[in-house]
């Protein structure tokens, strides 16, 4: 199916995850590989139009990697105009934990106290992540997200 989709999209010139933009792909630093199995249930993963998740297409690049196992519901979006996942597949609890971690973290750089890069460098140090470029909330599991909230709370004391 995806080989056929790839041939079709290339022939039509339409940019899709099966015929991604080379420029956009080259711009993504530290790309994660396309997921093949779900980290939550080990189910198979499919590249889908996100209308399969939301009931209608959502966003300028409406695609996602989604777990095919019934009842799992884990998915992750893609960097625009690429086939590169934004992070690891997130199930409901992981999505909620990442949302809370971002809500705690984003004000640090949005306030202008630090640049976004400085804020991530600080967070990486606080979490003991060696490389700042591997510090992405979209890559974190529930417990790491909880540590994000914790280190930010502690930094305020």
Query: Closest distance between Zn ion and the C-beta of residue 45, in Å?
Result: 8
Q: Applying CB under 5 A, which part among 1-9, 64-72, 100-108, 121-129 lies near Zn ion?
A: 64-72
Q: Which residue's entry shows tokens 């993963």?
A: 45
The token duo for 51 is 């209308």
Query: Closest distance between Zn ion and the C-beta of residue 147, in Å?
Result: 23
67 vs 76, which CB is nearer to Zn ion?
Answer: 67
Using N-to-C axis directions, what is the helix angle for 142-155 and 92-110, rounded to 10°?
Answer: 30
Query: Closest distance between Zn ion and the C-beta of residue 77, in Å?
Result: 16
Residue 53 touches Zn ion, criterion: CB under 5 A: no
> Are 96 and 138 contacting, i.e. CB atoms less than 8 angstroms apart?
no
| Phi/psi of residue 82, nearest 5 degrees | -130, 180
Residue 67 touches Zn ion, criterion: CB under 5 A: yes
Sole binder of Zn ion in the list 47, 64, 74, 86 (CB under 5 A): 74
> Are 146 and 94 contacting, i.e. CB atoms less than 8 angstroms apart?
no
40 vs 136, which CB is nearer to Zn ion?
Answer: 40
Q: Specify burial of residue 146 (Cβ count, 10 A radius: 0-12, 13-18, 19+).
A: middle
The residues that touch Zn ion, with contacts defined as CB under 5 A, are 38, 40-41, 43, 67, 69, 72, 74
């Amino acid at each position: 199916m995806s080989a056929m989709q790839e041939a079709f999209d290339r022939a039509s010139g339409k940019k899709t995850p099966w015929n991604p933009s080379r420029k956009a792909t080259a711009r993504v630093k530290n790309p994660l590989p396309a997921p093949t199995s779900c980290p939550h249930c080990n189910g198979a993963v499919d590249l889908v139009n996100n209308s399969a998740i939301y009931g209608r297409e959502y966003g300028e690049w409406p695609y996602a990697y989604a777990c095919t196992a019934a009842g799992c519901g884990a998915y992750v979006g893609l960097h625009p105009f690429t086939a590169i996942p934004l992070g690891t597949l997130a199930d409901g609890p992981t999505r909620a934990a990442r949302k809370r971690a971002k809500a705690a973290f984003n004000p640090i750089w949005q306030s202008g106290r630090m640049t976004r890069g400085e804020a991530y460098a600080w967070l990486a140090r606080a979490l003991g992540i060696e490389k700042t470029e591997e510090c992405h909330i979209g890559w974190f599991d529930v417990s790491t997200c909880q540590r994000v909230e914790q280190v930010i709370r502690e930094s305020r004391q």
